[in-house]
Structure 1
Amino acid sequence: MQHSRRGPEVPAGPRPRRRRLGHAALATAGLLALAACGQGGSSASEDSKPSGGAASAQGGAAGRAVTVSPVVKGGKVIAGEPLVLTAADGRLTSVTVTGPGGEALDGKLSDGGRTWTSSHDTEYGTSYTLRTQLTASGGGTVSDSSRFTTVSKDEVFVGTYNVNQGQKAGVALPVSVVFNKPIDDRAAVEKKLKVSSSPAVEGSWSWMKDRDGKDRVDFRPKEYWKPGTEVKFTMDLAGVKNGDLVGTQKREIDFTIGKAVVSTVDVVKKTMTVTENGKVLRTLPVSTGKKTFETWNGTMVVLSKVPSIRMDSSTVGIFGPEAYDMESVKWDVQLTPSGTYAHAAPWNEGRFGRVNASHGCIGMSTADAKWFYDQVGYGDPVTVVNSKDTVAVNNGYGDWNVDWGTWQKGSALS
């Protein structure tokens, strides 16, 4: 069974940078209680401009203005972000911003009164009334009242991403962004996405359709990340035009690559060898997919872990004599949204290392499953060899099953 991946949307305005959780934390918090072991279905703007919030000169004083930001698409203000007001001259002494119901946005002055930032985000498709009072640098007071409108959800496109600020990820984790609406100008969007690292790596973005048909773009290095690599993902889509839509997001996410925990499953030998930074930790006897339910070949990447889960074969389209519904399967490591897990399978005791008897998952004893569960984390690779049908690139993170030259050609800027 599939669970969601990634999190939404930091404006272009001059405010202190906020960092938000992306998908990885959301996925951990929102794991579905229902899963199944099996293959399931596979398969491979307008330019920013000043808003209408400029205060007119009053009382003979000239050259004063209050600028509203972040602004995009015909002067409308980006929604879902804190509002920033900036005095072009002097300092703000009083600010009141009210919505349709008369509810005021709280906020704080900074920079000696030159800037005011709301404590809460603005709503989509909403008109606000702005009342300000300024003290000019040369003396005198200017009061003003004006209105502005935020963009509606129908006017914007957003991307959800799979990394969190400050998290530690496995060596095989790509940076992945899935968009809520079709991307007509992939080159324009890709230009505003950046991944940098220390040490530096050779890497590339590549576009694909996610399993639900949404446009998705992943960045992966040519080879696995090195342990300890510090990675920065930057998304600067505010004002980017995409047909009749416009981007609003501005994000900066820093994360670190952890130990190189790499697992290799040989379906012929019926073993799984787990290494850490190149050193073999253990070789475990396993039971993989039986005939017509073969475990995917190729490299999969750990998506999530849960200590116990219900596995219902109907969620991956298995019915009839092969159907099953197990209430509490232990030590589950998810490898694909289509239903591939590594987990405890005590019902196959005596077959580990001898017979492949699962519906596509990697089964092992309860003790071995607990040990494996404790070793691996989000983004660690698990490569299956000597099986059939390579896992699709969009079935989780099958990015590593595409040769480097083909991967690079998937970039809109190649």
Structure 2
Amino acid sequence: MSNTPHTRTVVSCTLLVAALGAGVTACGSDGNPLAANPYDAADQVSFSGPTDAGKKADPNKPLEVTAEGSDGRITDVTAVDTTGRYVSGELSADGSRWHSTSPLAANAHYTVRVSTEDEDGSPGRKVLTFVTSKPLSKKRLNMTFGPDAGTYGVGQPITAKLDQPVKDKAQRAVVERALKVDSMPVAKGSWYWVNDKELHYRPEEYWPAHATIQVHSNLENIKISDRLWGGAAKPLKLTIGEQITAVTDASAHQMTVYKNGQEIKQIPITTGKPGFDTRNGVKVVLGKQYFVRMRSSTVGIADDTSESYDLPVYYATRVTWSGEYVHAAPWSVGSQGYANVSHGCTGMSTSNAEWFFNIVHEGDLVKVVNSAGDEMEPFGNGFGDWNVPWKKWVKGSALTSGGQADTNQTDQARLRPQNL
């Protein structure tokens, strides 16, 4: 084949696009990808669906691009809709065929750019456009990302809560593949299916200090099942502050606080006494309250017993939903640094509690070691996500092993309330 401009035009236009249906335009004989009309394109492309002008393509069918003849090959294909969503695909080793590997969105306008090369290595280009039809079902899967936008500590997981259950692992994969988490600096991470209606995302290590995280969904109008399509989701942007971590050694009765890996303070403390032992493991700060009224009756301790209490508590930093805090405990100062006398919380002097309250933020980390208590639950009682080893965490993704999380770990009956 001679290396002439006319030959390159023929190569770039001798492509078969088996693309879903009609509504597709292609390049004409003058090489201008936008100049063709449907009649010119009819000699250069064919379709797997209806070919009448004005018909829309079926989003349930895969997109295929095939080189006709043996005198040219495909070198690259990009397919993107007007919202910026790219279609994943695979190109055969010999360049004869490209096919999509991710679903197309319904009611979307796509542009497909095909790069080609003839037998002499001369490049060609072809642009196709098509519009997909609307979903047959009006049922939508909507989701909400959490937490709210703002600044958080390095341990803050990302959550995605669905308004309908997704149980099938293939359907979970469709949902998860459409969720995008971008961080700067880059932090490798993965989603974990906590249950049928909730996913958590975290990095292998903690988030880098001062990172920016952006979360969004490409699921809108993507088919999940015959009766369920993706709905819209509001994107989320978070920033990460300094790395603040606290290690509570229950047997030594000391808390050591670190900032960006450097020790900045040691605090005498008391933790849970026998029968009310503080949970071991990593906990994420859930929030802070200057004042909390703590009553034993709210955590299952009967009034008028030797263990009952009703106390005003200040500088309370919460780490579990069942009532575990780091807080001021002026009534136990004599035991702090020497003995564990609380009902599960970490107590310290008022001045130390005020200092801790002011330095930590939601998303920071408190790790308890050497307690006689149970391990912190991974899910359901706050964020125990960091207690799941990374190898197990990635197995909770639908893109690796089907996303079958250990649902027993979310059983609320296992949660033992703690306070003070």
TM-score normalised by structure 2 residue count: 0.60
Match of 1:49 among 98, 102, 107: 107
Structure 1 segment 168-247 matched on structure 2, within 5 A = 168-184=151-167, 185-209=171-195, 215-243=197-225, 244-247=227-230
Q: Deviations over 1:328-377 (max 9, x none)?
A: 31111110112111111122221111111111111111111111000100
Q: Deviations over 1:259-285 (max 9, x none)?
A: 011100000001111111122121001
- Report if aligned partners of 1:178, 1:215 keep a CA contact under 8 Å in 2: yes
Structure 1 segment 29-68 matched on structure 2, within 5 A = 48-49=106-107
Structure 1 segment 340-379 matched on structure 2, within 5 A = 340-379=324-363
Deviation of the 1:47 alpha carbon: 6.0
Deviation of the 1:46 alpha carbon: 11
Question: 1:390 corresponds to which residue?
Answer: 375
Deviation of the 1:197 alpha carbon: 1.1
CA distance in 2, matches of 1:356, 1:328: 20
**Which residues of structure 2 form unaligned runs of 5+?**
1-80, 84-102, 109-132, 401-420
Aligned AA (1:373): F
Question: 1:23 corresponds to which residue?
Answer: none
- Report if aligned partners of 1:205, 1:410 keep a CA contact under 8 Å in 2: yes
- Report if aligned partners of 2:143, 2:233 keep a CA contact under 8 Å in 1: no
Deviation of the 1:258 alpha carbon: 0.7
- Report if aligned partners of 1:47, 1:239 keep a CA contact under 8 Å in 2: yes
CA distance in 1, matches of 2:306, 2:173: 46
- Report if aligned partners of 1:72, 1:238 keep a CA contact under 8 Å in 2: no
Aligned AA (1:390): E
CA distance in 1, matches of 2:288, 2:341: 23
CA distance in 1, matches of 2:284, 2:300: 23
Higher relative contact order (CA 8 A, sep 6+): 1
Aligned AA (2:205): E
Question: 2:387 corresponds to which residue?
Answer: 401
Deviation of the 1:327 alpha carbon: 5.1
Aligned AA (2:393): W
**Which residues of structure 1 form unaligned runs of 5+?**
1-12, 16-44, 51-70, 77-154
Match of 1:293 among 269, 276, 288: 276
- Report if aligned partners of 1:297, 1:383 keep a CA contact under 8 Å in 2: yes
Question: 2:285 corresponds to which residue?
Answer: 302
1:333 aligns with 2:317: yes
Total equivalences in the alignment: 270
1:390 aligned counterpart, secondary structure = coil
Distance 1:299 1:251, change over 3 A: same
Aligned AA (1:172): G
- Report if aligned partners of 2:146, 2:236 keep a CA contact under 8 Å in 1: no
1:205 aligned counterpart, secondary structure = strand
CA distance in 1, matches of 2:399, 2:106: 24
Q: Deviations over 1:14-54 (max 9, x none)?
A: 89xxxxxxxxxxxxxxxxxxxxxxxxxxxxx996338xxxx
Q: Deviations over 1:247-266 (max 9, x none)?
A: 32233222221101110000
2:339 aligned counterpart, secondary structure = coil
- Report if aligned partners of 1:46, 1:72 keep a CA contact under 8 Å in 2: no
- Report if aligned partners of 1:393, 1:401 keep a CA contact under 8 Å in 2: yes
CA distance in 2, matches of 1:254, 1:202: 17
Higher strand share: 1
Aligned AA (1:239): N
CA distance in 1, matches of 2:322, 2:142: 25
CA distance in 1, matches of 2:343, 2:223: 46
Q: Which stretch shows the higher mean deviation, 343-352 or 178-187?
A: 178-187
CA RMSD between the two structures = 2.5
CA distance in 2, matches of 1:342, 1:305: 10
Distance 1:242 1:345, change over 3 A: farther
TM-score normalised by structure 1 residue count: 0.60
Structure 1 segment 279-290 matched on structure 2, within 5 A = 279-290=262-273
Distance 1:73 1:228, change over 3 A: same
